[in-house]
């Protein structure tokens, strides 16, 4: 294998540029670290051969991963060899003796890193969906190596000089090429390409530490699930749950070698779904506390030091790069543009939302009193009594509703049907494509004209080793440059019913399935040349727009008529029950909105700190409470959807200073959906227009311009308030 020139070149540049003793010492230490990593990568590259399934592109359709061949021991050598190969490719680009051009610099970079991209996509997806201690240990080991590899590219002065040359001559380009040039240049600048060598040394240190801390936080979340599981000895304590739910808890206990007991595991949000059914108030409180207090020192795993340190490091990095704070750095490339704009959008909603919460709370308190309760509603009471209010107010039994939403029918006759009606696409099962775990189904997606678009993996059920929540990702991204069609993955955490019983879904789970399909189609319909601009590679406050838009088809009468049928009798959901569902869809929306806004504002509070103020946080829990109070969202019975210690989006994902994006995107989604409804609704014509203007563009065009191209104007918040059923507070 070729020796990596890129690490040597950067190490030499650092040494030459360092003048002061401190700078020289830092550069020498970093050069030594780079040489060690280089040696590891070269050793791995030497051992990496054709016996490794990642050595060449998969020969399966659409280059889908061949899980009949991939074993855990293949990942590390392939990752290291991938870094080595990518570094060599980048070195060739940076040291090219020919003048810098779009083709030999920007396009050459787009074509580089094929091996690393191949193995990283599979490793990341499997680690998150079916990982174990071995995967988590390897993630910890690889995190700083990934960070260093990225820095070796983005802080390469020779490479940046070539990118800058192309950027300064960008007037001769337009469309997707111009967009790629401008984005590539901005990425280098935002990574620190214009910093002094001393500053680059510090940026590398910060990136390495942040990478390790993020991985540690993510892995801690998995550990906290086990540390905070609730073991119930007496079935009588589970009164209120269905027999199927109880059977699932018993099965979970058996899997933990506790036969005869019942295990309740916490999900990733503060609010736990089981709280809406459990009658035992003492057990409800125990479940809620296990959720809300996890990672705060209540068990062996404490995430508080990680939260504080990450906030401090992000603030320092932002200031090094010339920004007031991390939020200003992150949001510069978003639709909101500034953290102040995002905060203002959220704060403007607070009065109306809190007013609705107060009205909801009064109804819940009245319900408690009517049953002889002499206590004020607490967080562990809200869902339980809200369900009673819902049942009384709308005569709606959520368990009765579930009988009409059997999993397979929702998938085939709901989600797939709606996407066929809107876009003309079909999903054909591919049993010949291997998967990484049981219960995953692979489909080939066919376009309206019968041509293949790509593959879709449905990984909908929870399992040990799977992170919480729901998400979309990909094994292969679309690119005309590389000739790749997309291979897309949807993940959820639905609890599968015991063998022989149907898996019945809540209405929220059905809605989430439509949401994630929206993300999947954003990747599936991508129609761009360059991989960096493909699919969901858009700003955080735009990426949730296409997915949220798809949610509302859940309530489309035509879609409901096709999927909402009783799992035993096949009878259509009665109109009376459906009317109740429609009437109740915005019930408890004050709570839902406030818990979200509280978390989004908390995120922005952390990421508008200076390094000193972040370092000065004496206690994370106290900082959190003060932040909620300052923003007017400190309602005891309605805690944030995510508290600091398990806020995965912000401290283990890509949403730092960006959790507000869900609400921002919902403004777009509500406005767009209302527009579609006013112009024919569920039709191929509307679907094609949305696909052409939005879903096919990726990041090849400015997001707001994409929206205007589709809608004809910028969005307003009116449809959002209508969608959520929120009303402004009365003013006497």
Residue 15: predicted pLDDT: 26
Question: Residue 494 has what pLDDT?
Answer: 94
8 Å CB contact between 86 and 113: yes
The dihedral region occupied by 145, where left means phi > 0, alpha psi between -120 and 50, and beta the remainder, is alpha
pLDDT tens, residue by residue, 112-166: 999 999 999 999 999 999 999 999 999 999 999 999 999 999 999 999 999 999 9
Q: What is the pLDDT of residue 29?
A: 55
Average pLDDT, the chain: 92
pLDDT band at 445 (very low <50, low <70, confident <90, very high): very high
CATH code given to domain 61-193: 1.20.1050.40
| Least confident segment among 42-46, 225-229, 334-338, 690-694 | 42-46
CA distance 694 to 680: 18
Of 105-119, 417-431, 520-534, 576-590, where does mean pLDDT reach its minimum? 576-590
The pLDDT assigned to 44 comes to 61
Digit-coded pLDDT (tens) for 556-571: 999 999 999 999 999 9
Per-residue pLDDT at 20: 33
Strands 230-232 and 471-476, by their bridges, are unpaired
The per-residue pLDDT for 26 is 44
Q: What is the pLDDT of residue 725?
A: 78
Query: How sure is the predictor about 583, in pLDDT bands with cuts at 50, 70 and 90?
Result: confident
Q: Which residue has the higher pLDDT, 726 or 665?
A: 665
pLDDT at 720: 85
Q: Among 42, 25, 10, which residue's Cα sits nearest to residue 148?
A: 10
Cα of first residue to Cα of last residue in the chain, in angstroms, is 77
Place of tokens 């791995």: 44
pLDDT 10s digits, 374-408: 999 999 999 999 999 988 888 888 889 999 999 99
Of 22-36, 209-223, 569-583, which has the strongest mean pLDDT? Answer: 209-223
Q: Is the pLDDT of residue 481 over 70?
A: yes
Residue 42 has a pLDDT of 66
pLDDT of residue 654: 87
Question: pLDDT category, 37, cuts 50, 70, 90?
Answer: low
Per-residue pLDDT, averaged over 9-33, amounts to 38
| Secondary structure of 407-432 as H, E, C letters | HHHHHHHHHHHHHHHHHCCEEEECCC
Q: Which of 84, 176, 197, 516 is catalytic?
A: 516
pLDDT of residue 46: 67
Of the candidate ranges 45-49, 540-544, 617-621, 703-707, the one whose mean pLDDT is the lowest: 45-49
Q: Tell whether the model's pLDDT for residue 717 goes beyond 90.
A: no
Q: What is the mean pLDDT of residues 484-495?
A: 96
Query: Per-residue pLDDT tens for 540-551?
Result: 899 999 999 999
pLDDT, position 716: 86
Provide the percentage of residues in the chain whose pLDDT is more than 70.
93
User: Given a cut of 90, is residue 28 above it in pLDDT?
Assistant: no
Residue 27, pLDDT > 90, answer no
Mean pLDDT for the stretch of residues 74-79:
96
Structure tokens at 139: 């993630």
- Per-residue pLDDT at 585: 82
Of the pLDDT bands very low, low, confident and very high (cuts 50, 70, 90), residue 586 is: confident
The DSSP annotation for 311-375 comes to HHHHHHHHHHTT-SSHHHHHHTTSSS-SHHHHHHHHHHHHHHHHHHHHHHHHHHHHHHHHTT--S
Q: Is residue 234 exposed (0-12), middle (13-18) or buried (19+ Cβ within 10 Å)?
A: exposed
Inter-CA distances, 657 with 135, 316, 541, 600, Å:
28, 15, 11, 8
Question: Is 516 marked active-site?
Answer: yes
Tens digits of residue pLDDT in 247-297: 999 999 999 999 999 999 998 899 999 999 999 999 999 999 999 999 999
Report the pLDDT averaged over residues 9-27.
Answer: 32
Q: Which two tokens stand for residue 173?
A: 């380009």
Per-residue pLDDT, averaged over 694-720, amounts to 94
Q: Give the CA-trace dihedral at 493, 600, 508, 578, to 10 degrees.
A: -170
What pLDDT score was predicted for residue 513?
Answer: 98
Q: DSSP letters along 487-554, please? A: EEEEEEEEPPPPTTS--B--HHHHHHHHHHHHHHHHHHT---SSGGGSTT-S-HHHHHHHHHHHHGGG
Q: How is residue 724 written in tokens?
A: 């959520």
So what's the pLDDT on residue 626? Answer: 97
Count how many Cα atoms sit within 13 Å of the Cα of residue 657 in the half-sphere of its side chain: 27
Tell me, what DSSP letter sits at residue 275?
A: G
pLDDT of residue 97: 97
Cβ neighbourhood burial of 32 (10 Å; 0-12, 13-18, 19+): exposed
pLDDT level of residue 3 (50, 70, 90 thresholds): very low
d(CA 350, CA 341): 15
Crossing angle of the two packed helices 175-191 and 157-168, in degrees rounded to 10? 140
Residues 6+ apart with CB under 8 A from 322: none
Query: Of 20-24, 220-224, 484-488, 712-716, which has the strongest mean pLDDT?
Result: 484-488
Domain with CATH 1.20.1050.40 in the chain: 61-193
- Cα→Cα distances 163→106, 169, 220, 529, Å: 7, 10, 39, 19
Whole-angstrom distance, CA of residue 636 vs CA of residue 629? 10
Length of the chain, in residues: 732
Residue 676 has pLDDT above 80, yes or no: yes
Give the 3-state secondary structure of residue 689: helix
Residue 572 dihedral angles phi and psi, to the nearest 5°: -65, 145
DSSP state of 728: P
pLDDT of residue 23 exceeding 50, the answer is no
Q: How confident is the model at residue 33 (pLDDT cuts 50, 70, 90)?
A: low
Could you give the count of Cα atoms lying within 13 Å of 505 in the half-sphere of its Cβ?
25
What span, in angstroms and rounded, lies between the C-alpha atoms of 90 and 226? 43
């Amino acid at each position: 294998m070729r020796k990596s020139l890129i690490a040597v070149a950067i190490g030499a540049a650092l040494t030459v540029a360092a003048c002061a003793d401190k700078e020289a010492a830092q550069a020498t230490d970093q050069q030594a670290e780079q040489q060690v990593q280089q040696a590891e990568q070269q050793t791995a590259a030497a051992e990496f051969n054709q016996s490794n399934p990642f050595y060449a592109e998969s020969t399966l359709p659409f280059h889908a991963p061949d899980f009949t061949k991939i074993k855990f021991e293949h990942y590390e050598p392939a990752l290291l060899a991938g870094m080595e190969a990518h570094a060599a490719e980048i070195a060739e680009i940076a040291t090219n003796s020919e003048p810098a051009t779009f083709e030999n610099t920007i396009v050459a970079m787009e074509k580089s890193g094929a091996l690393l991209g191949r193995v990283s996509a599979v490793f990341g997806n499997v680690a998150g969906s079916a990982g174990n201690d071995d995967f988590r240990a390897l993630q910890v080991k690889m995190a700083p190596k990934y960070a260093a590899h990225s820095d070796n590219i983005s802080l390469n002065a020779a490479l940046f000089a070539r990118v800058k040359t192309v950027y300064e001559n960008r007037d001769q380009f337009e469309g997707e090429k111009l967009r790629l040039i401008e984005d590539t240049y901005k990425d280098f600048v935002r990574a620190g390409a214009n910093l002094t060598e001393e500053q680059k040394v510090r940026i590398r240190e910060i990136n390495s530490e942040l990478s390790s801390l993020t991985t540690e936080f993510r892995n801690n979340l998995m550990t906290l699930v086990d540390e905070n599981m609730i073991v119930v000895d007496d079935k009588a304590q589970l009164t209120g749950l269905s027999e199927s739910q109880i059977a699932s808890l018993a099965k979970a206990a058996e899997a933990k070698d506790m036969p005869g007991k019942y295990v309740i595991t916490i999900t990733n949000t503060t609010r736990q779904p089981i709280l809406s059914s459990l009658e035992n108030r003492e057990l409800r409180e125990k479940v809620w506390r296990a959720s809300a207090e996890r990672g705060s020192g209540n068990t062996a795993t404490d995430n508080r030091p990680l939260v504080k340190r990450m906030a401090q490091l992000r603030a320092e990095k932002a200031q090094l790069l010339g920004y007031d704070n991390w939020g200003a750095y992150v949001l510069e490339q978003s639709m909101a543009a500034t953290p102040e704009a995002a905060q203002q959008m959220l704060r403007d909603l607070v009065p109306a939302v809190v007013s609705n919460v107060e009205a909801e709370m009064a109804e819940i308190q009245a319900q408690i009193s009517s049953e002889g309760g002499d206590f004020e509603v607490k967080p562990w009471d809200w869902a339980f009594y809200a369900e009673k209010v819902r049942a009384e107010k709308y005569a709606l039994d959520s368990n009765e509703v579930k009988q009409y939403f059997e999993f397979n029918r929702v998938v085939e006759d709901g989600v797939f049907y709606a996407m066929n009606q809107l876009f003309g696409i079909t999903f054909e099962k591919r049993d010949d494509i291997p998967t990484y775990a049981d219960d995953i189904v692979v489909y080939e997606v066919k376009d309206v004209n019968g041509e293949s678009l790509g593959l879709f993996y449905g990984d909908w059920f929870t399992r040990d080793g799977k992170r919480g929540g729901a998400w979309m990702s990909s094994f292969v991204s679309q690119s005309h440059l590389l000739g790749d069609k997309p291979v897309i993955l949807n993940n959820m955490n639905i609890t599968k019913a015991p063998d022989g019983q149907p898996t019945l879904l809540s209405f929220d789970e059905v809605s989430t399935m439509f949401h994630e399909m929206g993300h999947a189609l954003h990747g599936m319909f991508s129609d761009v040349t360059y991989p960096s601009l493909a699919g969901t590679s858009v700003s955080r406050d735009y990426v949730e727009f296409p997915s949220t838009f798809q949610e509302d088809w859940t309530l489309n009468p035509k879609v409901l008529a096709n999927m909402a049928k009783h799992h035993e009798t096949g009878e259509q959901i009665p109109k009376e029950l459906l009317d109740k569902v429609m009437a109740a869809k915005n019930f408890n929306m004050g709570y839902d909105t406030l818990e979200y806004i509280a978390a989004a504002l908390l995120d922005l509070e952390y990421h508008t700190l200076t390094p000193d103020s972040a370092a000065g946080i004496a206690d994370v829990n106290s900082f959190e409470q003060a932040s909620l109070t300052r923003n007017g969202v400190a309602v005891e019975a309605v805690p944030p959807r995510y508290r600091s210690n398990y806020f995965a989006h912000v401290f283990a994902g890509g949403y730092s200073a960006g959790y507000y994006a869900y609400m921002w995107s919902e403004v777009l989604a509500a406005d767009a959906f209302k527009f579609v409804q006013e112009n024919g609704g569920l039709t191929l014509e509307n679907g094609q227009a949305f696909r052409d203007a939005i879903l096919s563009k990726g990041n090849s065009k400015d997001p707001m311009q994409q929206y205007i191209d589709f809608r004809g104007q910028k969005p307003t918040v009116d449809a959002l308030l209508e969608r959520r059923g929120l009303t402004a507070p009365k003013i006497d």
